[in-house]
Each structure stands twice: as structure tokens, then as C-alpha cells.
Amino acid sequence: MAKLPHEVQVRPISSLAQDVPTQPIGRTSPPSVDFNGPQDELFDWQKVRRLLFFTLHSVRRRPGLFLLVWIGMMLLTVGALYVMPKTYEVRSSLLAQKNAVLGSRGDPGRDQPTRAAPDLILRTENLRALIGQTDLLEEWPKRRAPIQRLKHWVLLKLKRAPTQTELLRGLTDLLENNLAVWTTLDGTVHIKLIWPDALMAYRLVDAVNQNFLEERHVREVSTIAEEISILEVHAVQLREEIEKQVADAQRLREERSSSQRGPASAQKPTRAPVASPPVDPEVVNLRVALETKRRAIADIEEMRRRRLMELQTRLTEQRSVYSESHPVLRDLEQSIASLKNESPQLGALRQEEAALRERLGSRRSGASTAAFTALPDIPPDLFRFDRDSRENEDPLIDYARTQLRLTVAQYANMRDRITAARIELDTAQAGFKYNYSVLHTPEVPRNPIKPKAPIVIAAAFLAGLLLGLFATSAADLRSGLLLETWQLESAIGPAQSIIEVRVL
């Protein structure tokens, strides 16, 4: 018979019959062992030890197969980490609270800065504007994982690739699901984005911060501007009412004077009040709104210019410390690039300004701004008290003067309110930078939150080790060769044959 790999030689029982010595008389045979009886231990540790040594010996017998499976598992894991999509997280937080020093007189009645901030940021219109602001539609195909690019290529071949409209709708839904915004009682707005690309996640969160600040600025300024516009319209109406009452009072005085002094006194010229050109209330609204839009545009441009100067200064400082490929420099460069793009709020303000300017030009009103802001012309002799004259005894003239005094008082009160509202507008614009501050600026994430590469590689290392042991052991078992002595005992059985085992 052929020799086994472990130099174990087995001869049949017929060839060993003459070699069996005769048992001496009086000597008892060894007691038989009952292998089918109950075991004292739960596990057969001898069998476990045999299988363990068999597995380790299989690695020695087949080292090529073991290394192939082990290294192949590691390479497959590294390749999967490269081609599969990753998930990054970017966070930011803003502190929004009213300043006690530069607070406006309407603070108690106005909305809190963080009120409805999540709804304001997550509106569908704002999300689509955010996609356009960051060029997400153009950047999305370039920044996908290789497996997603392969899927897109297959869909293109099958002519089932999504259109631009479908892609815009899909990205909007993805942003709505992965962008989380919440507020706390201390006035902090927290923003968190889960996104498959690190750089684009940073750009999106940075744009959300800028858009929120600009949106709040526009809302606060627009609220006060609308109040000023309403007050200006009422002031114009009161001014026209004063001019009308002055004319009526003058007419009553002239009639009373002519009836008392006769026809000759009627020929005396009287100074008529200078009537101001008629002012259209719609023109007042348009001019106030146009002025407000221009101031809001100037404020937002100043904010962006100040932010751009800060980033450029930081970039110059960091270039003296890091190389051009360092992530810190990439963050700053991307922030500068995003600020150069016009925000949706600024674009909307420019469109509204152009529309207001066009509407104002179509009205073709000759009245200047000073025409409806100047005080009405009231003759000083209208309220002069003359004891010799009997005008003071005329109830009509006395009633006209009383109504005129009331209207003038209302007009003066309205001008005071307009002045206070304009001061409030200036205060709100000056104090905006103190009311809002960025507590935690967004940064480009260095590593994805999933998958965790170190954990995955460690798991692949252990899995490859176990799989290699299993592969070599399975290959030895499928070979059909008896490679260990315990295999002979299990296959032939010690009670049914006499075996000569010679280990050379």
C-alpha cells in the first residue's frame, strides 16, 4: 500500500496475523471501552483539539490557498470602501438674540429671531434656490461614488437616465430628508446635514447659514419699511386734508370779511395758501419700498463684502502655515467661491428693485420726495386773534379752525411716528450684526461617519483569517486523504482491526 503524507503505514489484518504474539496463560485481556455510554463532559475536548490542530496543519499544507483567500478578502474590502458611497456629516450653529443696547422700540411686539427658523430654511423654494446657488445639479454627477457612476452609465445605455427636472426633484427631496434644523430655548439655531460628498456638504451648510442671515435681515428691514410706507401714505392724506381745510377756512374768512365791510373791501387782495402738487399714495408706497430695497441690498452686499475680507485674510494667514493641498485651505477657498455667487435673497431683492423702479417710472409723477415730506403751508394770520374783528364770533370759522388744529396735531403725530420708525430702521440695520453670530462654523469633514474604515478593515482582517482557515480545511477534507492519525481511528475503528502505525 502507498504511504500516507504523515508516514503512517497501514497493513491489512491478514498480513499481520502471524505477527500477533500469543497471549500468555493467565493474563487477562484489557477491559473493553464503551464509547456509546454517557459522557461526563458537555464537549469532547479531545475531538475539539484534534479539529483545531487539523485546521492549523491545513494552513501549513496549503499556504497558497490560505494567503489567496485572506489577502483577497482584504483587497475586496478595500475596493468596496472605495467604490461604495460614503456618508458625511456637517454641523453648524447660529446664535440669534436681540441686543439690549441696540434694541428697537418694537422689540417686544416683534417675532423672535429663531421663530419658525426650521420652516423658513426647509421651504421647498429655499431648497431649490440652495441647489441653484451651489451648482448642485452640475456638481452631483461629478461627485458621486464609482458604483453610482456605473449605475448611471448603465441607465444611460438603457435610456432610462433621469431628466433634469426629475434630478432636481430628487435632490430637493434628498435635501429635505437629510437636512435637519432645530432651535433651542437659548436662541440657538442648529443645522445638521448628512450628505454623500464631504465638500458639497460643507458648501450646502455654509450657504444655508448665509441665506438664513440674509433672509432674517430682509424680513426685519422689510417689516419696518412696510410700517414706514403705511405711515407715509397716511401722512400724505393728512397733509392733503390740511390743505383742503386751510382753503375752506380762508374762503369762510373772505366771505365773512366781504359781508361786514362791503364791496370795496372785497377788492383787497388776500394771500392764498400755496398748494402743493397732488401726490399719488401709490407713488409714496413705491418710493418708500424702493428706498428700503436699495438699503437692504447695500446692507447685504456690505455683509458679504465684510465676510469675504475676513475669509481672504484667514486664507493669507493659513497659506503661510499649510501647503496648498491642505484641507484647511480648501475649506477657505470654497467659502470664498460660494460668497462670489449671488444668494437667492440678494437676487430676489434686485428683481424687486428693478420692478419697483419700472413701476415708479411708469407713474410719471412730478412730485419729488421733498414734496410729500415737507410741512403743509398754513397762513399765520389764519389763527391770529383780532378783538376788533367779529370772525371769532362766527361758529363756522371757529369750527373750521378747530378741525384744522386737530388735523395738524394728527399730522404732527404721524410725522413723529415716521421719524421714530426711520430711527428704528437704522437701529435694526446697525444692530443686526450684534443680534446674530455664528457659534460653530461649518467645516469640511475629514472622515465619513459611515462606513467606518478602521472598523470595516479590522472586521475584514478577522473574516479573511477565518475564511482562509475554513477554505484550507475544507480543501483537505474534500481531498479524501487520511492526513491525521485520528482520522484512521475514526475510519477503521480500534475494535475491528489491528493497525500498525509507524511514524517515521
Residue 443 has pLDDT above 80, yes or no: yes
What is the secondary structure of 236-295 as a DSSP string?
HHHHHHHHHHHHHHHHHHHHHHHHHH-HHHHTS--PPP-PPPP--HHHHHHHHHHHHHHH
Report pLDDT for 288. 77
Backbone angles phi, psi at 75, to 5 degrees: -65, -40
Classified as helix, coil or strand, 372 is helix
Q: Which residue has the cell 427631496?
A: 173
Per DSSP, which regions of 350-481 are E strands?
436-440
Over residues 209-239, the pLDDT tens digits come to 888 888 888 877 778 888 888 888 888 888 8
Over residues 236-261, the pLDDT tens digits come to 888 888 888 888 877 877 777 776 65
Report pLDDT for 398. 77
Residue 174: band (very low, low, confident or very high) from pLDDT cuts 50, 70, 90:
very high
Percent of the chain with pLDDT over 70: 73
Residue with the larger pLDDT of the pair 32 and 141: 141
Residue 193 has pLDDT above 90, yes or no: yes
Residue 99: band (very low, low, confident or very high) from pLDDT cuts 50, 70, 90:
low
Report pLDDT for 33. 45
**How high does pLDDT run on average in the chain?**
75
Over residues 341-395, the pLDDT tens digits come to 777 777 788 888 888 888 877 765 544 554 555 566 677 666 665 554 554 556 7
Q: How many Å apart are CA 120 and CA 471, to the nearest integer?
A: 59
Over residues 277-291, the pLDDT tens digits come to 556 667 777 777 788
> Domain residues of the chain, as ranges?
45-83+453-492, 88-261+271-440
Residue with the larger pLDDT of the pair 84 and 328: 84
Over residues 125-139, the pLDDT tens digits come to 889 988 888 888 888
| Element (DSSP H or E) covering residue 351 | helix 344-363
Residue 175: band (very low, low, confident or very high) from pLDDT cuts 50, 70, 90:
very high
Residue with the larger pLDDT of the pair 331 and 318: 318
Report pLDDT for 498. 45
Q: What is the DSSP letter of 129?
A: H
Report pLDDT for 177. 93
Report pLDDT for 195. 93
Report pLDDT for 329. 79
Residue 504: band (very low, low, confident or very high) from pLDDT cuts 50, 70, 90:
very low
- In degrees, rounded to 5, the angle at the alpha carbon of residue 114 between the alpha carbons of residues 113 and 118 is 140
436 burial level (CB within 10 Å; 0-12, 13-18, 19+)? buried
Residue 484 has pLDDT above 50, yes or no: yes
Lowest mean pLDDT among 7-11, 188-192, 298-302: 7-11
Residue 108 has pLDDT above 60, yes or no: no
CB of 215 closer than 8 Å to CB of 345: yes
Q: How many Å apart are CA 78 and CA 93, to the nearest integer?
A: 35
Residue 17 has pLDDT above 50, yes or no: no
Report pLDDT for 497. 45
Q: How many Å apart are CA 4 and CA 165, to the nearest integer?
A: 72
Q: How many Å apart are CA 55 and CA 255, to the nearest integer?
A: 128
Give the dihedral sign, CA 443/446/452/454. Answer: negative
CB of 445 closer than 8 Å to CB of 198: yes
Q: Which residue has the cell 430711527?
A: 423
Q: How many Å apart are CA 85 and CA 312, to the nearest integer?
A: 33
Residue 205 has pLDDT above 80, yes or no: yes
Report pLDDT for 75. 92
Q: What is the mean pLDDT of residues 63-70?
A: 90
Residue with the larger pLDDT of the pair 76 and 369: 76
Report pLDDT for 382. 65
Residue 496 has pLDDT above 60, yes or no: no
Q: Are strands 88-96 and 179-183 parallel, antiparallel or unpaired?
A: unpaired
CB of 277 closer than 8 Å to CB of 367: yes
Residue 109: band (very low, low, confident or very high) from pLDDT cuts 50, 70, 90:
very low
